[in-house]
Structure 1
Amino acid sequence: MPSSLDAVPAVRRIETDRDDVFACEITGHVSAADFENLYGLLEGAYALHNQVDVLVHFTNYDGVDWSEVSDNTKQEGQEHASRHVRRCASIGGPDWVSYFKGWFAPSVDVELRRFEDDEEEQAWAWIGARPIG
C-alpha cells in the first residue's frame, strides 16, 4: 500500500547565489517521473543560460529506476548536457564521475568531480557558488 511519502519528489532544486548554477538535492529512490522532473528543471536552466555549472547533492540515495526512464529521455538529456554543462559536482551518493565521463563526447570540455558527504563546502567552492536559504 503506497504511503503519503511516495508522492514526495526525490529531486529538489537548491537556490544559489549564481543564476548560472543549477543545484539540486536527490533524496531516496529516484523514479522515472523524478528523472523527468530533473530534466525539466535542467531544460529551464539551459533556456536561461547557454552554459551552466551543476551541483547534485545526494542524501539517503536509494537508486534509480533506469529501466523505467525512456531511451529518448536519456538521449536528449545526454545531448543537452553535452551542449550546456561546463562543470558538474556531485556530493555523496554513488561515484558516477566515470559513468558520466562516458556520457560526454571526448571533444566536450566538461569538468566532473565527486565529493564525499563531509566535503560539501569544498564542492560549493569548486563550483564557485553558495546555497541560498
Structure 2
Amino acid sequence: MTMFEVLPESGPDLLAIRVRGRLSREDYARLNPWLDEELVRNPRPAMLVDMRGFEGFEGPGALLDDMRSGVRHWNDLGRMALLGDHPWVAWMVSLVAPLMRAEIRYFGPDQQEAAWAWARQVRAAP
C-alpha cells in the first residue's frame, strides 16, 4: 500500500505530498525519482508535506533513505511547510531549520489553511 501520494494541488512552484502510515524503502524508490524530475524542471519550488497520520518508517533502511534524500536536496527547495500532528515533528523542524537554506516551518493539525497559504507565498530569489 502506498504511504505517500502527490496531491492534486502540486504544480511548478509548489510540490505537495501527503505521507501516512509507515514509509518504506519502496515508497522512497518512487518518491525520489519524482522529486528529482520536478526539481530539474522547476528549480527551488516550495514544498508542502502533509504528515498528518505519519507513523514513522518501516525499518532503518527507510529512515536511511529519508536522510539520504534530505541531504541530496538540502538546498533545492525555496521553502517547506510541514503539516503534522505529532510533537516530535515540530521538534525535528526546530533542529534542522537553522541548518537549511530553505525556509522551513511546522504547522499543527488545525493549521492546514495557514500551511497552504505560507507555502504558496512567492520567495525572493537567493
Provide TM-score, normalisation by structure 2.
0.77
Report the Cα offset of residue 41 of structure 1: 2.0
Aligned position for 1:126: 118
Asked if residue 80 in structure 1 is aligned to residue 72 in structure 2, the reply is yes
Paired with 1:59 and 1:65, the residues of 2 have a C-alpha distance of 17
Report the Cα offset of residue 98 of structure 1: 5.0
Aligned position for 2:124: none
Aligned position for 2:54: 61
Aligned position for 1:111: 103
Question: How many residues in Structure 1 have an aligned counterpart in Structure 2?
Answer: 120
Aligned position for 1:5: none
Paired with 1:104 and 1:66, the residues of 2 have a C-alpha distance of 25
CA RMSD of superposed structures (Å): 2.6
Instruction: Summarize the Cα distance change of 1:48–1:127 in structure 2 as closer, same or farther, 3 Å threshold.
Output: same
Paired with 2:74 and 2:32, the residues of 1 have a C-alpha distance of 13
- Please list, as runs of the form range in 1=range in 2, the aligned pairs for 1:1-133 lying within 5 A after superposition: 8-16=1-9, 18-69=11-62, 71=64, 74-75=67-68, 77-94=69-86, 95-96=88-89, 98-99=91-92, 106=99, 108-128=100-120
After TM superposition, the structure 1 stretch with the greater mean CA deviation from structure 2, 21-30 or 61-70, is: 61-70
The gaps in structure 1 that reach 5 residues or longer are: 1-7
Superimposed CA distance per residue, residues 40-98 of structure 1 (whole angstroms, 9 cap, x where no aligned partner) = 221121111111111000232221135123857733x2343223111011111444355
Instruction: Summarize the Cα distance change of 1:86–1:47 in structure 2 as closer, same or farther, 3 Å threshold.
Output: same
Letter in 1 for 2:79: R
Paired with 2:43 and 2:79, the residues of 1 have a C-alpha distance of 13
Provide TM-score, normalisation by structure 1.
0.73
Larger radius of gyration: 1
Report the Cα offset of residue 128 of structure 1: 1.2
Letter in 2 for 1:16: E
CA contact (8 A) 1:11 1:37 kept: no
Paired with 2:38 and 2:96, the residues of 1 have a C-alpha distance of 19
Partner of 2:23: helix, strand, or coil? coil
